[in-house]
Homo-oligomer: A and B are copies of this chain.
Amino acid sequence: MTRNLPVDAARIGADIEALAAITEPDRPWTRRAFSPLFLEGRAYVERRMRDAGLETRVDAAGNLIGRRAGRVSGKGTLMIGSHSDTVPDGGRFDGIAGLISALEVARTLTDKGIELDHDLEIIDFLAEEVSIFGVSCIGSRGMTGQRPAEWLAREADGRSLAEGIAEVGGNTELSEHRPDIKGFLELHIEQGTVLETEGRNVGIVTAISGITRIEIIVEGRADHAGTTRMDARADALVAASELVLDIRQAALSLSQSPRHFTATVGEFRIEPNAANVIPSKVRLLIDARAEMREDMDAFCFFVNETADRAAEKWGVTIAPPVRISDVPSTPCDEGILSILEHAADASGISHRRMASGAGHDTMWLANVAPAAMIFIPCKDGRSHSAEEWAETDDIALGASVLFEAVQTMDKDRA
């Protein structure tokens, strides 16, 4: 890295390393929301926020916020940040890179004596990852009034989610209401290989793909594996195997457009799962992600068709596939996308527009305020694993775009 960046890459790297050290020692890198280690991580972040002159608090939804007051009272808030929690055996950069970059933007503004008209808030959203309570984006949904009320009664490790939120300093008796947020930006590792493959510095995220989960249950007949003729079977595994291949083929075709599309059979369980019994049942779960709703509709139509075809071909029963969840895609704010592109261009930082295949807190923010994301490359697209890796210099490039964009938004936003 020879470029002269406004932000301090070494400072970013040191903070990421310090947070990485706060991990379950025998399963790096694990710092799950609601755990004592999570609170330890937050204490570190809060200390660094204070070091940067930020005023810290935990909001009612359990988010840690560091605030830098703006020059013009009542002008509203620009918010930047991500999350500090990890999945089990997770990585050092997912969420953390964005949180520390946001902190670095605040530090750099102060170092350079730059005052903003808007208040600036650096945010560590509570429990972006699927937590012990079985749900994700708890803090961003809570802050934006999108956390289902029934979630609060969910239990894990002998306490309710409401109690869990109270333990981190939130208060579910109160509700957040943030009409002051004028813009939101999140930097995040790509978790894919597009930037790395193309050698681009940053991705300008146009949309966060919709996620549809489709459950298929295949029912065959549990006959004796040794005595039942090959041509007289109703083997649920054989039928389900064909579905897996057909689903992959359909997703591959859809993904060959410039629009983001993936489909994955991630859960797959057979019964009775006994060596000498023909499988009688398979439950499989498809995770499909589409940037454009029409692609998801086409895929779901295909899944229904192919399930019918497989049922007939293999003599098994397949109930109509069920969409057990169906979140449409979230477009990012076109105005902020332009700001990000200009910011990158001004610093000679290469970029491309792309959709996010993963869900992010930005999804929930985008429903209440103009929002967008910046992706930075990560090695081999790996994430949610100990091998997850992003170069500090790459993070610093993204943080520089964030730094420039925040200043433009400060002028730009009413």
The yes or no answer to A148 lying at the interface (CB within 8 A) is no
Q: Give the residues in chain B near A255, CB-CB below 8 Å.
A: 229-231
Cβ-neighbour of A224 out of B192, B252, B285 (below 8 A):
B192
Question: Interface stretch among A64-72, A275-283, A330-338?
Answer: A275-283
A190 to B224, CA, bound (A): 11
Question: Do the beta carbons of A229 and B266 come within 8 Å of each other?
Answer: no
Q: Give the residues in chain B near A279, CB-CB below 8 Å.
A: 265-266, 268
Q: Give the residues in chain B near A222, CB-CB below 8 Å.
A: 384-385
Contacts A241-B241, A264-B235, A268-B237 given; does A277 touch B228 at CB 8 Å: no
The yes or no answer to A142 lying at the interface (CB within 8 A) is no
Min CB–CB distance A234 → chain B (angstroms) = 11
A211 to B252, CA, bound (A): 39
Question: Interface stretch among A5-13, A342-350, A352-360?
Answer: A352-360
Question: Do the beta carbons of B357 and A227 come within 8 Å of each other?
Answer: yes
A230 to B251, CA, bound (A): 7
Cβ-neighbour of A358 out of B194, B224, B268 (below 8 A):
B224
A209 to B229, CA, bound (A): 13
Min CB–CB distance A27 → chain B (angstroms) = 14
Question: Do the beta carbons of A262 and B226 come within 8 Å of each other?
Answer: yes
A357 to B223, CA, bound (A): 12
**Contact pattern, A 367-397, Cβ under 8 Å of B = 1, otherwise 0:** 0000000000000011111000000000000
The yes or no answer to A213 lying at the interface (CB within 8 A) is yes
Q: Give the residues in chain B near A48, CB-CB below 8 Å.
A: none
Contacts A213-B275, A232-B193 given; does A357 touch B241 at CB 8 Å: no
Q: Give the residues in chain B near A277, CB-CB below 8 Å.
A: 266, 384
The yes or no answer to A270 lying at the interface (CB within 8 A) is yes
Min CB–CB distance A138 → chain B (angstroms) = 17
Residue from A248, A255, A273 having most chain B Cβ neighbours under 10 A: A248
A238 to B244, CA, bound (A): 6
Question: Do the beta carbons of B268 and A193 come within 8 Å of each other?
Answer: no
Contacts A229-B193, A356-B227, A384-B277 given; does A265 touch B237 at CB 8 Å: yes
Cβ-neighbour of A225 out of B225, B228, B264 (below 8 A):
B264
Question: Do the beta carbons of B268 and A275 come within 8 Å of each other?
Answer: no
The yes or no answer to A274 lying at the interface (CB within 8 A) is yes
Min CB–CB distance A147 → chain B (angstroms) = 20
A273 to B222, CA, bound (A): 23
Q: Give the residues in chain B near A357, CB-CB below 8 Å.
A: 224, 226-228
Q: Give the residues in chain B near A235, CB-CB below 8 Å.
A: 248, 264
A384 to B278, CA, bound (A): 11
The yes or no answer to A159 lying at the interface (CB within 8 A) is no
The yes or no answer to A242 lying at the interface (CB within 8 A) is yes
**Contact pattern, A 271-295, Cβ under 8 Å of B = 1, otherwise 0:** 0011111110000010101000000
Residue from A229, A251, A263, A358 having most chain B Cβ neighbours under 10 A: A229
List, sorted by A's number, 11 A–B pairs whose CB atoms are closer than 8 Å.
A192-B224, A192-B229, A223-B383, A224-B384, A226-B358, A231-B252, A237-B265, A266-B276, A266-B277, A267-B273, A276-B287
Extra contacts besides A192-B229, A230-B262, A232-B381 (10): CB < 8 Å: A191-B228, A192-B227, A194-B229, A222-B385, A225-B262, A225-B289, A228-B262, A230-B261, A237-B265, A267-B273
- Residues of chain A touching chain B, judged by Cβ–Cβ distance below 8 Å, are 190-194, 209, 211, 213, 222-232, 235, 237-238, 240-242, 244-245, 248, 251-252, 255, 261-270, 273-279, 285, 287, 289, 356-359, 381-385
